[in-house]
Amino acid sequence: MSEKKRDPKQVRKDVSCDYTRAVTVSSCCGDNVPKGVVAKIAGYSTEELSSLPTDAVMNSFGCGNPLAFSEVKAGETVLDLGSGAGIDVLIASLKVGPKGKVIGVDMTDTMIQKARANIEAAGLKNAEIRKGIIEDLPVESSTVDWVISNCVINLSPEKSRVFVEIERVLKPGGTMMVSDIVAEKLPDEIAKDRSLYSSCLAGAISEVEYIEGLRSAGLEDVNVCERLVYDEDQLAEFMGSELKSDSTCGCCGSGPTDHSAKTASWAKELKGKIWSAKFRARKRFQTQFK
Ligand SMILES: C[S@@+](CC[C@H](N)C(=O)[O-])C[C@H]1O[C@@H](n2cnc3c(N)ncnc32)[C@H](O)[C@@H]1O
């Protein structure tokens, strides 16, 4: 798998800054950016969304519903990589019940604060958020039944490290269910754009690379169990809901590029080249000795 050449620490810093802006922009910059749009097209049911704190839904930036069709059971442990404001942590927490446990990991302080507040608002006692990076998870080896993630691994500048970490933390026989953006060859203008990286587009790899990465990390039964191919309008909405139209924000210093004029033409160009895929994989029951 080809990893991008930029300094991984700087990439994470930029992404974190952009997501801080994304959830604080209305208070610090007065920008009226639509939020929660993605949640509505990401495969959650109306019932699911209406049972959650509004803040978790409004600040959702996913591209699928990793828990849909999963067989998560009461008493199990679920780990959410890049938990954001906590939408999937909350849903998982209701599924595993009081005897189960949900851990969310995120690197962005503002997101962590939001997720913790949303867990408290929902009155859930079986969920916690840990600060850390998904390339070096603050989670013990072989301790979780499920690894889930929603539109996050595309943002990692070191995807192979993330795949190895998923294999490490899963219990033998444990399952990974990840919704993420995948892309066939993107035009250079898009692939090199920082704001579009943070918008989950420019850092996306192909389905084939994703599957190879998971297999190389030692995971088995790797497959794509669902695809959500965006039409032109959905792509424009997707880009519009993640990109900020302001040029500078007091929260993080310099702001992202203003793409509002280009969104429609990019949506047209990207149609059919970019979609959300749900990957499933399993950790082997036993280490195989050669
Ligand atoms: C697109 S949002 C998705 C949030 C959430 N999964 C959801 O569905 O709403 C990406 C989130 O992943 C976090 N993130 C991105 N790269 C990360 C990394 N390398 N390590 C930890 N968190 C990361 C960001 O801080 C942000 O909260």
Average pLDDT over residues 45-51: 86
pLDDT tens-digit readout, 158-194: 999 999 999 999 999 999 999 999 998 888 888 888 7
- How many Cα atoms sit within 13 Å of 73 on the Cβ side? 3
Q: How far is the CA of 289 from the centre of ligand 1 (A)?
A: 35
The pLDDT score that the predictor gives to residue 179 is 95
The pLDDT score that the predictor gives to residue 159 is 98
Residue 33 CB less than 6 A away from ligand 1: no
Kindly give the residue spans of alpha helices, DSSP state H, lying in 59-193.
87-96, 109-121, 159-169, 188-191
**Domains (ranges, CATH) in the chain?**
8-243+258-282 (3.40.50.150)
Question: Where does the pLDDT of residue 201 fall: very low under 50, low under 70, confident under 90, or very high at 90 and above?
Answer: confident
**Which H or E element spans position 249?**
strand 248-249
Gap between the Cα atoms of 116 and 17, Å rounded: 19
The pLDDT score that the predictor gives to residue 265 is 84
Question: Where does the pLDDT of residue 33 fall: very low under 50, low under 70, confident under 90, or very high at 90 and above?
Answer: very low
Quick one: which atom of ligand 1 is closest to the CA of 162? 19
Residue 111 CB less than 6 A away from ligand 1: yes
pLDDT tens-digit readout, 238-258: 676 554 434 344 445 455 556
Any idea which of 72-81, 197-206, 209-218, 241-250 has the lowest mean pLDDT? 241-250
Mean pLDDT, the chain, as a whole number?
86
Residue 200 CB less than 6 A away from ligand 1: yes
Q: How far is the CA of 22 from the centre of ligand 1 (A)?
A: 12
- Which of 4, 9, 19, 119 is the best mutation target for the ligand 1 pocket, counting ligand atoms within 8 Å of the beta carbon and taking the most? 19
User: How do beta strands 77-81 and 144-150 pair?
Assistant: parallel
Cβ atoms 169, 141 nearer than 8 A: yes
